[in-house]
Structure 1
Amino acid sequence: MQLRYLASRTPKKTVAEAAPELSREKDAQPERRVETESSLPSQPPLARPPQALPAPLIEAAPDRSPGLDGAPSASAPDPLRILDSIGEVVYDWDLRSDIINWGPNVRSVLGVSNVALIGTGRAFAECLSPDSESSRYEAIARSAATDDGAGAPFQICYGLLPPDSPRDAAIWIEDTGRWFAGPDGRPARAHGLVRVITERYKQDRRLAFESRFDTLTGVLNRASLLEQIGLFYAQAAKKKQSFAALLVAIDNLFLLNRTYGYDIADQIIASIAQRLRTNCRERDLVARYAGNKFALVLENCDAAEMTAAAERLIEIVGGAPFETTAGPVPAALRIGGVVAPRNGRAVHLLFQHAEEALDIARQPGGARLIAYEPSLAREDTRMKALKVSDEIVSALNDGRIILALQPLIDTRTGAPAFYEGLMRLRRKDGALVSPSSVLPTAEKSGLIQMVDYRILELGLKKLIEDPALQLSVNMSGRTVRDPDFISRLRAHLAPFPELARRLMIEFTETCAIEDVEATVRAIAEIKKCGARVAMDDFGAGHTSFKNLRRFDFDLVKIDGAFVQNLARSADDRFFVKTLAELAHHVGLPVVAEWVEDAETAKILTDWGVDYLQGDYFAPAAASDVKAPAARE
């Protein structure tokens, strides 16, 4: 890039070449010193913009350098056009006179029609946006660098409000340059280059916002919450006071999603966040903790104050519906609260206890607010759950999750029709652990899907080993509704397509009615794979006759809790007989579980129940012995 000073008739020089000469020229002039309290003027007094500014630093000049044929080149780069296109302009600032000499493209780059309005340092400073953290003058004044003859570098970013532009039309500038000292060692002049970085600035601001705040609600995100909560612990220790943490859940969010759609549910979540923030104190924290959960941290708050604040928030949120594009929609909250540091001396314990309290609040028929209180029994239960979780993970890693096969007896022939593969965990000492000791913990800890997929793999392996075997395996509702379940089932069956007709997938009635539409889709997809589907624990979830027809199950298994006392309970006999007749009415074969004696087996057979399962016929056995052939 070729540069020249217009006031001079000397040959063209670059800025770097011209700078030392300019410095010597400036040093040779008599010093006009402004006396202030500091070595650098706080800010030069506002000078009236000169009527005519000094000539610009650079101007476009035709390049007379010869081309290959000796003629002047027509394609030589135009420095002004290049600077213009990349949004950059050069300047030279005499700090003693406060005059800024701008490059000739300043109007197009900064959008200033009258350059005189930014012709001095003071006038330019008055155009800075209030959002600017610093200025060029401060960058020079506070510089720790010294000028060793080549100038001291500086770089600063700030917002600029051009004087003849709307007040909200700020552009953001990256200002890079060098300042040069006078004979007294103080900054005397500076030159540099300003670059418009508005788009980059906005992107950086957006990324900074998203790193700290939830984009949907505008409140803190979880990471920022955990980062800032340490200040509450420090203040509590210093002032000997407590604070409270509330874990706030939106009640039945899945129903809102299903009824109104996810976009309306998002509007409700954002509105609840705003209502919570509005009704908290300025120094309290409000953060989005998870999908339908918010965390509130209340400063200087004891147990009674926490209860009062939580009850007020429940009333405020539930007292008036939220306006959405679908119309007014009501919502309600469930809250678990903890007072710290008494009941949560570390961040992870604080929210662990809040989760425990919230779990109790979310139980059917439970209070909407539960304040955590230490409990030896609950702590013992928690420790046992942690131990079981560790044992499950260890068993999965060591291959100690196994199948125990139990036959289902055909009441017409008295022979096994097919088998159910039941999960068992074998301890390191060889003892077997029953599912009731493992599965509830696996559900709560999120390990259930790993267990389910292991059982599915073992079941398919059994089917490969025994071509005559027909087998059913249990899957949890979480697994069946997992978007990856069908694709994994297809992948397992792809190399052995003949296995599908001998495989049956079971899941409970309670799981089925949690989301009827999802269950209907899951059954259809499983059947497309060629497998059959059974409803387990029929009668426990009170499925309607309408849903029973929609589900398209191949078989229903009556909940064993109603079967085991059948011979002694008239109520159970009436209920089981009704369930069997209802299933037969819609054309579904019926299995009765937990058959433990001959009398119960005879009653069920007389009622026309198709299959019987229980310890009376054979307990579930973990064995590698080939199962008896089963009839289709």
Structure 2
Amino acid sequence: MQLRHIANRGLEAPAANALHSSILKTPLVTRELPAPPVAAAPVAGPDPREILSSIGEVVYDWEIGTDRLTWGPNLGETLGPIASEALDTGLGYGERVARESGASRYDAIIQSGKTDTGEGVPYQVVYALAQPRELGQGPLVWVEDTGRWFAGPTGKPARAYGVVRVVTERHEMERKLALGAQIDPLTGVLNRAQLGEHIARFLQQAERSRKPFAVLLVALENLFALNRTYGYDAGDEVIASLARRLRENVRACDVVARHAGNKFALVLDNCDADETLFAAQRLLDLVKGAPFETSAGPIPASIRIGGVIGPREGRVPHVLLQRAEEALDVARQNNGKRFVAYTASLAREDARLRSLQVADSIVSALNERRVDLAFQPIVHAATGEVAFHEALLRIRLPDGTVASPAALLPVAEKAGLVRLLDQRVMELALERLAADPQLRVSVNCSVLTVLDPEWPERLKAAIAMNPSVSDRLIVEITETSLIEDFETTRNLIAVCKELNVKVAMDDFGAGHTSFRNLRDLDFDIVKIDGAFIQNITNSQDDRFFVRTLIDLARHLSLEVVAEWVEDESTARILRDWGVEYFQGALYGRAAERPTLDDKRTAAK
């Protein structure tokens, strides 16, 4: 069989011929250069053995069936002490492959899973070789093994030709570069990107060993004050010194990583709850016991720690980190505890504390007049012109940012504050209506407000101050309010009718109100829940349901608003079905000032 592939690294033809001869174990043949015009001795070509040795390469021929492995004559010069033991079989050579290798020649050939179609199958693999034990523990030799294997009659690998090239220096350089990408440059510990991978590894180990491990988040306190007092360079020195102190006081099997600017993550192997408490207390004492030496002098510092036990409290890295963060948040509160371990009860307590904080922020916003409105246009489906606006709640935080209503309203409902918010929204809407005679506004009322027996009287009193606004006000009541208390909802609608205020059913379709209940209530408008609108171009079921709702509303002489109209395809379908009004991103998002007489999108 002739050699079909070999990496000659740019050798001239005579050298390539010699390499082929070396592999086949035939005598090397050199070609004489053309004789000069005058008589001269023949000039031999370059010695292939010297060439291959100089670039750290040796060729081989492996007969897989018999396991006979034949090397080029420069094997010893290339692999050094490793070649002192017989390497004339694939098994013998495989014994020299070090544990640090990710794969081997055997893996690249026998387990390749590829098929030889007649030209052979190329392979390339990098692995480490170790010298025989009797010679002592010498340095590993990293090699790049490049070749091509050929199939036998059964289609399985039968023979391989290749070149082994020593790449120890290159591998070491690549290892250092890879390590640099994993290390935080300031502290010398692992960076955050590597932390998740290590936690995943600990989770896999825990599944096999059934032994727990701990994830600790260690936060340096008062970093802002340190930077302001001693300067940013000294602050960086404290952070770097803290990392060093943490690393020096954990085991070799543990992991230390920088999680954020002033926070470090520790992953402690084989560590239960009691051992975690002991380790955390030890770290607290180590940091508190001695100041950190910096260019600005000794600087005392303190830390707080939140911990979680894996895999008991989480089976994926981000959950464990999130729960360690929750425990750290509790530890940072001024309750005297510098270490807090996560538990399910802690999560409930944390949620309670967060709810209290949100409730306090809502009360502050009401007292400080930081509750405001945004207006989203609702347009005529036929023309795209603005018909009226929905007033939407906005709460501004002390720093001027706007809090998400989705995060605030559930807490407001549980804390009994939603009725105060509804009352404020109604007051602001009536003020806007009184100031702008062209404005029409719809105001959404929560279930608690609708069921409040005192609210109708408050609405009467508010409109009595400026009766001219009543016919430009629309009160939106969610369909779920009907399920809570049908009679109270009907009485409220009756009061609105007395005041000449229109009433709309919001989220029509979400509560599955019976036809009888809908017929017995004097609504003017129904707003179809956007959850059914957003996918009608793709869902036959949604199209059928929305069409049924529209037909029902038309039968009862109710005007229809379609929510969440995001694209013209959806608008075209709804327009063909006779929907009167559209609301959604296609026609405008909520803004601080309502837009009047604005043709958003021309009807098509």
Note whether the superposition's TM-score is higher than 0.5: no
Relative to the length of structure 1, the TM-score reads: 0.41
Higher RCO (CA 8 Å, separation ≥ 6 residues) = 2
Please give the TM-score of this superposition, normalised by the length of structure 2: 0.43
